[in-house]
Amino acid sequence: MTTKWKILGIDSPDGKLITRAKYFASVSDKDLVVETEGFWTFQEPKLNVAFADVTEDMMVAWIKAETMQEGANMIEKRLNEQLAALKAQRVTPLPWAPQTFTPDLKG
């Protein structure tokens, strides 16, 4: 499984503190991919480094830290749950479509 994060934008009304970030996160396993995009408003905007020194990795770490519950990152947890549901999904043929036999090579 592969997890990817990307910061798409930030809000910094005073040019010193970052108050909100727009993020993109995805989890993939072979040909299955689950993605989400959203805004995260930081509980207590603060910087422990100069604004110009902030990196995307730092922003991702700050979001992950604030979304931790019971030892798990909740955004990644939901993505993994959705990916597991996709893996377990069974395809039911449409009743009006031609019925064909397709062997399940994954099972």
More confident residue, 93 or 52: 52
More confident residue, 22 or 15: 22
pLDDT value at residue 76 = 94
Strand ranges inside the chain, DSSP E: 2-11, 20-29, 32-41, 68-69, 72-73
Is the pLDDT at 106 greater than 70? The verdict is: no
pLDDT value at residue 7 = 97
Question: Which tokens hold the place of 53?
Answer: 């020194």
Question: Which tokens hold the place of 22?
Answer: 């727009």
H/E element, 88: helix 74-88
Is the pLDDT at 42 greater than 80? The verdict is: yes
pLDDT value at residue 63 = 94
Give residue 50's pLDDT band: very low, low, confident or very high (50, 70, 90): confident
What is the Cα 9 distance to its own chain's centre?
15
Average pLDDT over residues 4-26: 93
Average pLDDT over residues 62-78: 89
Q: Are 25 and 51 in contact (CB under 8 A)?
A: no
